[in-house]
Amino acid sequence: MSTPISSIRNLGPAVEEACARAGIRSAEDLRKLGAHEAYRRMLLSGTRAHFIGYYVLHMALQGRPWNDCKGKEKEALRTRFDTLKEEVSHSTDKGLSALEAALDAIGVVERPKR
C-alpha cells in the first residue's frame, strides 16, 4: 500500500501534483529518492525552481518544521540548490525534452563529439 505524499508534514496537494508530474507517486518513493533527487526530477518535469520549496522538501523528509532551516545548514542547502538549478538549466537549455534532460543529467544521453 502506498502513502500519499501529502501525508508528510508540510507537503500539500501542490507538492503532491508536482511529484506526480515527475513520476513520484508515493511518500515511500519520495523518501527513497531523497529531497535533492526528487526536486531535480520535479524541475525536469516543469516545476519552477524556488529555494523555499527545495528546503521545505528537505525539512519535511526529516520530520522538521519548514522554517527550521537556518544558518549554515540553510547556506549549504542554498549552494546545493543553486548548483542543481544550474545543472537542470543546462540540460533543458540544450533543447532536450524533459525525459532527455533527465537522462542527460544522469549521464545517459550521448554527448556530441568535439
Determine the pLDDT at residue 52: 94
**What SS3 class is residue 96?**
coil
Do the beta carbons of residue 90 and residue 109 sit within 8 Å?
Answer: no
Please check whether residue 72 lies inside any domain of the structure: yes
Sign of the alpha-carbon torsion through 47, 51, 52, 56: positive
Please check whether residue 64 lies inside any domain of the structure: yes
The predicted-structure confidence for 8-57, as pLDDT tens digits, reads as follows 999 999 999 999 999 999 999 999 999 999 999 999 988 999 999 999 99
What is the CATH number for 18?
1.10.150.20
pTM over 0.85? The answer is no
Determine the pLDDT at residue 87: 87
Give the domain range for residue 69: 5-105
Please check whether residue 114 lies inside any domain of the structure: no
The predicted-structure confidence for 94-114, as pLDDT tens digits, reads as follows 566 666 666 666 666 555 555
Type and span of the H or E element at 88: helix 71-93
Question: How many domains does the chain fold into?
Answer: 1
* Residue 33: how many other CB atoms lie within 10 Å: 18
Please check whether residue 76 lies inside any domain of the structure: yes
| Residue 92 confidence (pLDDT) above 80 | no
